[in-house]
Amino acid sequence: MTDSTARRRRSEARRARILAAARARADADGWVAVTTRHLADAIGYTQPVLYTHFPAGKSEIMLAVALEGYDDLTRRCRDAVAGNRGRPAIEAVATAYLDFGQAHPAVYEAMFQQAIDARFASGDTPPALRTAFETLAAAIGDQGDGTITEVFWAALHGIHLLERAGRLRPEHRADRVTELSARFAP
């Protein structure tokens, strides 16, 4: 292994530790508690080292966490669909989406509620966002301009936020998912 390869691997490992520390702190105390000082302390490096990985600081870290979240959400949704079509596919992707949001509240918040430097529905939309959207579109069979997928996504987002706030009866999630799939099945 060359020195440059070893250096690159150490840098990648440090970057991953920074992101893991940010996720852990955000999950425990919210994004307001995530500071570059805390993250530097958490990984055992100085703040200047942290800024070598994320020159824009916290906003860039949140963006990186969000993009990783989109990749994770896409994998979970694709795995859940696993060749199903119609209502079974819609129910599977809806359940995977809601389970992801429940299991990873800080990541979900970075993806959908925090201001991140990523444009949606534009020519410069990051591939992770585009792929996640396309996964939802495929599950519901949206062959149009994406409007139906936006409505489906908005419904899932609303359900997640209401569940997280304790405004919906937890024991009725399956009924909500069934009802949602009935509305979006081709």
With a cut of 90, say whether residue 3 has pLDDT above it.
no
With a cut of 90, say whether residue 118 has pLDDT above it.
no
Query: What distance in Å separates the CA atoms of residue 36 and residue 13, rounded to the nearest whole number?
Result: 17
With a cut of 80, say whether residue 53 has pLDDT above it.
yes
Rounded mean pLDDT, 174-186: 95
Query: What distance in Å separates the CA atoms of residue 14 and residue 29, rounded to the nearest whole number?
Result: 22
- E-assigned strand segments in the chain: none
pLDDT for residue 122: 83
CA-to-CA dists, residue 3 to 10, 129, 134, angstroms: 11, 35, 40
With a cut of 90, say whether residue 116 has pLDDT above it.
no
pLDDT for residue 83: 87
pLDDT for residue 90: 97
CA-to-CA dists, residue 104 to 100, 128, 144, angstroms: 6, 17, 31
pLDDT for residue 155: 98
Instruction: Dump pLDDT digits (tens) for 120-145.
Output: 888 889 999 999 999 999 999 999 99
Query: What distance in Å separates the CA atoms of residue 33 and residue 16, rounded to the nearest whole number?
Result: 19
pLDDT for residue 142: 95
Name all domains of the chain by residue range, CATH numbers in brackets: 1-55 (1.10.10), 58-184 (1.10.357.10)
pLDDT for residue 12: 94
